[in-house]
């Protein structure tokens, strides 16, 4: 893949879940987009909006939040390479608020591109469907996380998932990552109080499982964190590189990205 290709993380994501060829992935270089920068906790989409474009996350993190919850309950988190609102291809009305967790860079891609992409490439059409099904699988696991795990295990499991998804697109290779959230955000994601989050993080530190300094999170004992969380990544639908994943190689099409002023 050419260095600096804006959609490389999306290509990595698609290649990890579907049987796509280099020719299929090359079609992404034709993607029209507007690049938008969002500040921490800025809304990208609001409940009740009608959307005619998808939000492809390039940098940072996004979260879906319950529009009715006073505490900003977080219901899902997107990492680079995710299309945070892929469901709007089929249901344009927005249900919930899509909010940036920290500064974020998003490519706004017209729905028509993904429809044309699906028509041109059956493999890409199936892989986009697998991506959408993966979103639903994570949502089901999110429900289990909140409903049947204690606070310590909830936090550990969420950190395992986020780290695995980042590594899938070439990030957090050394288990060091930009923190996806503040401790208040983590409380909203795990349905616990900020005070409880603070205690939980202290316990994870005491067990030498992680270090959290400012905006950087370092997992110091990955096997230990996985054991504590009971984390099994199978629900993510990610194939290891030795199970048929093709290396991603794309040619950059000049003018594929139009930056917003």
Judge whether 223 lies within some domain.
yes
The pLDDT of residue 6: 66
Judge whether 129 lies within some domain.
yes
Give the closest residue to 61 by CA, choosing from 30, 31, 35, 40: 40
DSSP assignment of 183-246 equals HHHHHHHHTS-HHHHHHHHHHHHHTTSEEEETTEEEES-HHHHHHHHT--GGGGTPPPTTTTPP
Contact 26/187 with Cβ under 8 angstroms? no
d(CA 118, CA 124): 6
Judge whether 3 lies within some domain.
no
If one counts the domains in the chain, the total is: 1
Average pLDDT of the chain, as a whole number: 88
Average pLDDT over residues 9-17: 95
The pLDDT of residue 241: 66
DSSP assignment of 116-184 equals HHHHH-HHHHHHHHHHHHHHHHHHHHHHHHHHHS-HHHHHHHHHHHHHHHHHHTT--TTSEEE-SS-HH
Judge whether 193 lies within some domain.
yes
The pLDDT of residue 133: 95
User: Is the model's pTM score more than 0.85?
Assistant: yes
Contact 57/106 with Cβ under 8 angstroms? yes
Judge whether 1 lies within some domain.
no
Judge whether 2 lies within some domain.
no
Give the closest residue to 18 by CA, choosing from 245, 258, 255: 245
Judge whether 106 lies within some domain.
yes
Instruction: Note down the domain range covering 102.
Output: 8-259
Judge whether 51 lies within some domain.
yes
CATH number at residue 219: 2.60.120.10
Residue 255 predicted with pLDDT over 80:
no
């Amino acid at each position: 893949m050419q260095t600096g290709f804006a959609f490389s993380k999306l290509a990595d994501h698609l290649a990890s879940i579907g049987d796509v060829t280099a020719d299929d992935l090359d079609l992404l270089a034709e993607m029209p987009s507007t690049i938008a920068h969002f500040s921490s906790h800025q809304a990208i989409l609001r409940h009740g909006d009608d959307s005619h474009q998808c939000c492809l996350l390039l940098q940072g993190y996004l979260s879906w939040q319950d529009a009715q919850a006073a505490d900003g309950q977080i219901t899902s988190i997107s990492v680079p390479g995710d299309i945070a609102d892929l469901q709007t291809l089929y249901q344009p009305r927005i249900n919930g608020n899509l909010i940036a967790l920290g500064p974020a860079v998003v490519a706004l891609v017209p729905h028509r591109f993904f429809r044309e992409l699906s028509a041109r490439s059956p493999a890409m059409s199936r892989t986009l469907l697998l991506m959408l099904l993966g979103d639903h699988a994570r949502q089901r696991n999110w429900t289990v996380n909140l409903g049947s795990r204690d606070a310590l295990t909830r936090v550990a499991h969420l950190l395992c998932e986020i780290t695995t998804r980042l590594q899938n697109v070439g990030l957090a290779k050394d288990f060091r990552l930009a923190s996806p959230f503040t401790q208040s955000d983590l409380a909203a994601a795990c349905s616990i109080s900020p005070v409880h989050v603070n205690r939980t993080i202290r316990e994870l530190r005491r067990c030498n499982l992680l270090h959290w300094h400012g905006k950087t999170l370092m997992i110091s004992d990955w096997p230990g964190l996985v054991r504590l969380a009971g984390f099994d990544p199978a629900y993510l639908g990610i194939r290891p590189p030795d199970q048929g994943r093709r290396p991603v190689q794309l040619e950059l099409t000049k003018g594929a990205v139009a930056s917003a002023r």
